[in-house]
């Protein structure tokens, strides 16, 4: 991919991710702040909500130029969840445990820091694996 194409996709990825961050923080605030769920369980559920949101928009917008058969959308969703979803959940849970549990940082601020840590890895996992060009769809 040429640099201009790479930069364009990177910007799309980050736009979707920014909206996903808002969703993740809103779900976390609802589950933890309003419903009183433990911060680790609330984090895992909030991350999954953002992962599902992000998958839909990456499918429809970020990587829409990579034509895929509709029958494989569930395979891509599975790959997305097993790669970027897993990286996001593990990164978030480990860092939330450390930042909130050990350093007593406010949970929404700690979650922003946790999200940032996994972002770069998630872009490359998505580009090279989940939405990779396939010779036979």
CB 46 within 8 A of CB 27: yes
Residue 75 pLDDT greater than 90, yes or no: no
Residue 35: exposed, middle, or buried by beta-carbon count in 10 A (0-12, 13-18, 19+)?
Answer: exposed
Q: Find the range with the poorest average confidence among 10-19, 21-30, 68-77, 107-116.
A: 68-77
**Over residues 62-91, mean pLDDT:** 85
How confident is the model at residue 112, as a pLDDT? 94
Q: How many CA atoms lie within 13 A of 122 on its CB side?
A: 29
Residue 113 pLDDT greater than 50, yes or no: yes
Q: What is the DSSP letter of 66?
A: S
In angstroms, how far is CA 88 from the centroid of its own chain?
6
């Amino acid at each position: 991919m040429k640099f201009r194409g790479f930069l364009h996709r990177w910007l799309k990825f980050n736009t979707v991710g920014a909206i996903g961050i808002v969703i993740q923080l809103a779900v976390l605030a609802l589950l933890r702040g309003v419903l009183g769920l433990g911060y680790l369980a609330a984090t895992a559920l909030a991350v999954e909500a953002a992962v599902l949101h992000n998958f839909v928009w990456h499918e429809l917008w970020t990587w829409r130029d990579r034509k895929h058969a509709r029958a494989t959308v569930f395979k891509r969703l599975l790959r997305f969840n097993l790669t970027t979803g897993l990286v996001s959940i593990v990164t978030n849970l480990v860092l939330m445990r450390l930042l909130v549990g050990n350093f007593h940082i406010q949970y929404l601020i700690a979650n922003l820091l946790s999200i940032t840590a996994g972002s770069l890895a998630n872009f490359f996992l998505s580009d090279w694996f989940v939405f990779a060009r396939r010779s036979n769809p």
